[in-house]
């Protein structure tokens, strides 16, 4: 006699928001099955390979038996030192690699785990929307409640901190911010970061700044690190990823840096759940962080050419579109008469071009579509021609 377990999902899983990209995924698979020549501008995953010198370092590191054993939890000190050196060189920020840096299995891992360290059931986390879906999900998994901060054009896609109600502020323990921003491509300046630091200090709120796109910038305008501002290290940490900067999304390596107490809290969760990053990958990470700027400039130039072609092209055919100063995304208004999902479906069916519906990043993204610059100039030109015919 055998009886199956019910395997009923936990409430936290049942409470997950509906996956708005599922319908699009299905339509994409259908189109591919039908043999449509699809131009996929929906994925935030660079189509350019990891630079050769990083791959070479990995090849060598793999052969070292020392790396075949469990890595240290916080990351090899040499990797964390390379992070500190990179911060000094890039942002003129001084970090203690022993206490102010922790390695991550991609920044998604750190973002996903940080609420577990600081959020009790009922605590509030301030979450930007549209935004990276991991912020509200990580909050939910920790038993916290997300308070949505809408990012709208009128406010240059910066959250309006003054609009957050007093009773919410009392329960708020943590705020996520993300600039250069995915999906809107907006950047933040000194004034905004200063406002966030004052706000966090006043209300005792931990700041988690997601800086995954700090190195994908255009026209030579380098984004700031949140940690460059006085007082930042008193209130928060910054998440970085090697994924976007060095085309290393598959390698799974990132880090968090800043306030030692917050870094230690995150480290505590990690040491109980994972066992760190394969040390050969950390060696490759050191190589990546020491990459000559001429290599990175080439990558940026590639994205900038694509940005110019897509931005100018969409503008010319009458679409309302934001010119990105950073990130590899374009945030465009959908034409009148369409919802985000309807327009994405229309472009897929009529033009064989795939974008991401803005509402997939949260309700305030309704009315927008995100295009990723992860196709060649030739394909992007072709996409513009096809979109022109479809609208």
Residues that bind ligand PLP (CB under 6 A): 44, 106-108, 132, 178, 182, 210, 212, 241, 243-244, 249, 254
Q: Minimum Å distance from CB 54 to ligand PLP? A: 15
CA atoms within 13 Å, Cβ hemisphere of 261: 7
Minimum CB distance to ligand PLP smaller for 302 or for 339: 302
Instruction: State the Cα angle at 310 between 306 and 314, rounded to 5°.
Output: 175
Distance CA 319, CA 306 (A): 17
Q: Minimum Å distance from CB 243 to ligand PLP? A: 3
Minimum CB distance to ligand PLP smaller for 351 or for 356: 356
Q: What are phi and psi of 125, to 5 degrees?
A: -115, 130
Instruction: State the Cα angle at 212 between 302 and 303, rounded to 5°.
Output: 10
Q: Minimum Å distance from CB 386 to ligand PLP? A: 26
Q: Minimum Å distance from CB 228 to ligand PLP? A: 19
CB-neighbour burial class of residue 284 (10 A; exposed 0-12, middle 13-18, buried 19+): buried
Minimum CB distance to ligand PLP smaller for 252 or for 351: 252
Q: Minimum Å distance from CB 312 to ligand PLP? A: 24
Minimum CB distance to ligand PLP smaller for 109 or for 287: 109
Minimum CB distance to ligand PLP smaller for 253 or for 384: 253
Minimum CB distance to ligand PLP smaller for 74 or for 384: 74
Instruction: State the Cα angle at 89 between 84 and 95, rounded to 5°.
Output: 25
Q: Minimum Å distance from CB 247 to ligand PLP? A: 11
Query: 137, 16 in Cβ contact below 8 A?
Result: yes
Q: Give the residues across from 104 on adjacent strands.
A: 254
Minimum CB distance to ligand PLP smaller for 46 or for 313: 46
Minimum CB distance to ligand PLP smaller for 244 or for 387: 244
Q: Minimum Å distance from CB 310 to ligand PLP? A: 18
DSSP secondary structure letters along 289-353: HT--HHHHHHHHHHHHHHHHHHHHHHHHTT--B---SBSSEEEEEPPTT--HHHHHHHHHHHH-E
Query: 386, 355 in Cβ contact below 8 A?
Result: no
Minimum CB distance to ligand PLP smaller for 102 or for 387: 102
Q: Minimum Å distance from CB 46 to ligand PLP? A: 10
CB-neighbour burial class of residue 84 (10 A; exposed 0-12, middle 13-18, buried 19+): buried
Phi/psi region, residue 226 (left: phi>0; alpha: psi -120 to 50; beta: rest), is alpha
Judging by DSSP bridges, how do beta strands 368-372 and 356-357 pair with one another? Answer: antiparallel
Q: Minimum Å distance from CB 343 to ligand PLP? A: 22
């Amino acid at each position: 006699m055998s009886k199956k377990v019910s395997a009923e999902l936990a409430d936290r899983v049942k409470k997950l928001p509906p996956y708005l990209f599922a319908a699009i995924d299905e339509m994409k698979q259908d189109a591919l099955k039908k043999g449509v020549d699809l131009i996929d501008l929906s994925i935030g995953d660079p189509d350019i390979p990891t630079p050769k010198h990083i791959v070479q370092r990995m090849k060598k590191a793999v052969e070292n038996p020392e790396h075949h054993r469990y890595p240290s939890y916080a990351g090899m000190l040499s990797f964390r030192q390379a992070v500190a050196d990179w911060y000094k060189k890039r942002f003129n920020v001084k970090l203690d690699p022993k206490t102010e840096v922790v390695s991550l299995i991609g920044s998604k891992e750190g973002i996903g785990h940080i609420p577990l360290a600081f959020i009790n059931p009922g605590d509030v986390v301030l979450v930007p929307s549209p935004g990276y879906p991991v912020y509200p999900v990580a909050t939910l998994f920790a038993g916290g409640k997300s308070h949505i901060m809408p990012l709208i054009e009128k406010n240059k896609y910066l959250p309006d901190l003054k609009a957050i109600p007093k009773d919410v502020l009392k329960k708020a323990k943590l705020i996520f911010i993300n600039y250069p921003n995915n999906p809107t491509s907006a950047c933040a300046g000194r004034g905004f970061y200063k406002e966030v630091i004052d706000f966090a200090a006043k209300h005792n709120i931990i700041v988690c700044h997601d800086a995954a796109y700090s190195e994908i910038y255009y026209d030579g305008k380098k984004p700031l690190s949140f940690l460059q501002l006085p007082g930042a290290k008193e209130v928060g940490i910054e998440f970085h990823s090697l994924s976007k900067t060095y085309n290393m999304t598959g390698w799974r390596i990132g880090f968090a840096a800043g306030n030692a107490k917050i870094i230690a809290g995150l480290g505590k969760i990690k040491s109980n759940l994972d066992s760190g990053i394969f040390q050969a990958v950390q060696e490759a990470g050191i190589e990546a962080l020491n990459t000559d700027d001429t290599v990175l400039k080439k990558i940026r130039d590639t994205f900038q050419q694509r940005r110019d072609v897509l931005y100018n092209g969409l503008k010319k055919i009458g679409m309302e579109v934001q010119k990105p100063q950073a990130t590899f995304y374009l945030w465009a208004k959908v034409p009148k008469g369409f919802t985000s999902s309807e327009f994405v479906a229309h472009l897929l069916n009529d033009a064989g071009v795939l974008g991401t519906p803005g509402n997939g990043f949260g309700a305030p993204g309704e009315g927008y579509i995100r295009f990723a610059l992860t196709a060649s100039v030739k394909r992007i030109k072709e996409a513009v021609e096809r979109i022109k015919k479809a609208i």
